[in-house]
Amino acid sequence: MVKYKDIKSLTTDELKEWLNAAGEKPFRAEQIQNWLFCHQVRDFSEMNNVPPSTQAKLAAEFSIQSLTPAHRADSSDGTLKWLYKTYDGHFIETVMIPTNGRFSVCVSTQVGCAMNCSFCRTAKMGFTRNLEAGEILEEIIRVNWHLKDSNTLGEDGKIAQVTNIIFMGMGEPLNNLENVHRTCCTLHHQKLFNMGRKRMTLSTSGIVPKIKELVDRNTPCCLAVSLNSTNNERRSVVMPVNDTWPIEKLLEATDEYTRRTDNYVTFEFVLMKDVTCTDIAAKELIRICAPRRCKVNAIVLNPADDPTLEAPTPEEVEHFLALVRAAEIQITIRNPRGRDISAACGQLAYNQQKVVYAHTEST
Ligand code: SF4
């Protein structure tokens, strides 16, 4: 019946069903979830209004903590990056980016990734497995634990809490839509995290049928798409997903998303020297964006180990932005954060995986 090991993965109804089968009162599901998501307790024994016998049954069946911190890297710009070991021995990453009173968290949704984008370190790890909703939620909860333990204050003078979630860490979130949907529903639930839809953004490489499924499910989040190139030939070079779902199909899906949800789409655009940061790319970007309700989030490439890709110079970036803005397209440049701690997606876990493999090979 219960397929999840982490209790945070269960919906209220699933937890009620489990309690009922275990001879417990189903109403305790709300109490338990209140402890898990509002109080964010670290152990079943902290659930004061749950009888010790019930706590023991829960502890025998489920875990509250599925992730073990393996490493933390602190950037000079305030960005923090955690490397976690999962219960089955894999590595994932979570990044916290504090900006002007906001605490944004970029979460991983899979161990590795199958999408093979050329500019991404996670791609080089291959795909291992999907993360459970409980594991994704724990990435967020653990940042809250850090903010509490370090006595970090928000703008209101109270202990700070995570304010925004970006599903843009390791993995393609739409390839794990069931668990990402569960995560968003728990975060959005008024009696649990009570986080507004606009504070959660799912970023995809562009899996067209899954964008439609996201709309059908009414998953409470905003949509960002990694466009990165405006021309099929060039996009296929950096993002193989484009061979299956080329730009025209992708735009049909994002147009449908905009029509049915009344939300704009954000196009992520990584600026790569001589590939995506060119006059031709700027013109093509304008052609795509001008007729649509959208905005562009540009970011300068964070060079991984791929010697074939380079970051553009600041002058080249300014020139590109000026061309796009002249056409009245809303484009913002995201300052790269945490470069001194390898904050780009997958860099820390990839290095850790190399260490593990090197160790395995030498023993
Ligand atoms: S950029 Fe995202 S979708 Fe592409 S390989 Fe990396 S993790 Fe996967």
Residue with the nearest Cα to atom 7 of ligand 1? 171
Flag whether pLDDT at 3 surpasses 80: no
317: part of which helix (H) or strand (E)? helix 314-326
Residue with the nearest Cα to atom 4 of ligand 1? 117
Position 229 scores a pLDDT of 84
Position 63 scores a pLDDT of 95
Name the pairing type of β-strands 222-226 and 80-85. unpaired
What length is written for the chain?
363
Segment 32-57 shows an average pLDDT of: 97
Which of 107, 110, 117 should be mutated for ligand 1, with most atoms under 8 A from CB?
117
Position 343 scores a pLDDT of 56
Give the position, in ligand 1's atom list, of the atom nearest the Cα of 121.
6
Q: How far is the CA of 288 from the centre of ligand 1 (A)?
A: 22
Burial class for 217, CB neighbours closer than 10 Å (0-12, 13-18, 19+): middle
Segments making up each domain of the chain, as ranges: 7-61, 68-362
Residue with the nearest Cα to atom 6 of ligand 1? 120
Whole-number Å distance between alpha carbons of 170 and 24: 38
The model's confidence at residue 67, banded by pLDDT at 50, 70 and 90, is: very high
Position 1 scores a pLDDT of 42
Render pLDDT for 285-304 as a digit per residue (tens, 0 to 9). Answer: 999 999 999 999 998 887 76
Flag whether pLDDT at 247 surpasses 60: yes
- In this structure, what token pair is assigned to residue 101? 């009173």
Which listed CATH number (3.30.420.480, 3.90.930.12, 3.40.50.1580, 3.20.20.70) goes with 68-362? 3.20.20.70
Burial class for 252, CB neighbours closer than 10 Å (0-12, 13-18, 19+): middle
Residues in the ligand 1 pocket, defined by CB under 6 Å:
113, 115-117, 120, 122-123, 170-172, 205, 345
The model's confidence at residue 355, banded by pLDDT at 50, 70 and 90, is: very low
Query: In the sheet where 331-334 sits, what is the strand order?
Result: 68-74, 80-85, 91-99, 102-106, 164-167, 200-204, 222-226, 265-271, 294-300, 331-334
The model's confidence at residue 230, banded by pLDDT at 50, 70 and 90, is: confident
Position 344 scores a pLDDT of 58
Segment 303-314 shows an average pLDDT of: 77
Among the listed residues 93, 135, 139, 172, the single catalytic one is 93
Q: Is 345 a catalytic residue?
A: yes
The model's confidence at residue 234, banded by pLDDT at 50, 70 and 90, is: confident
Position 334 scores a pLDDT of 82
Report pTM: 0.91
- Of 114-123, 124-133, 149-158, least confident by mean pLDDT is 114-123
Cα of first residue to Cα of last residue in the chain, in angstroms, is 40
Greater model confidence, 119 or 164 = 164
- Of 122-126, 197-201, 282-286, 329-333, least confident by mean pLDDT is 122-126
Q: How far is the CA of 68 from the centre of ligand 1 (A)?
A: 24
Position 358 scores a pLDDT of 38
Residue with the nearest Cα to atom 3 of ligand 1? 172
Render pLDDT for 57-66 as a digit per residue (tens, 0 to 9). Answer: 999 999 999 9
- Of 158-167, 212-221, 227-236, 256-265, least confident by mean pLDDT is 227-236
The model's confidence at residue 309, banded by pLDDT at 50, 70 and 90, is: confident
Portion of the chain with pLDDT greater than 70, in percent: 91
- Write down the mean pLDDT value for the chain: 91
Flag whether pLDDT at 356 surpasses 60: no
**CATH node for 7-61:** 1.10.150.530
Which of 345, 348, 353 should be mutated for ligand 1, with most atoms under 8 A from CB?
345
Q: Would you give the DSSP letter of residue 113?
A: -
Portion of the chain with pLDDT greater than 90, in percent: 78
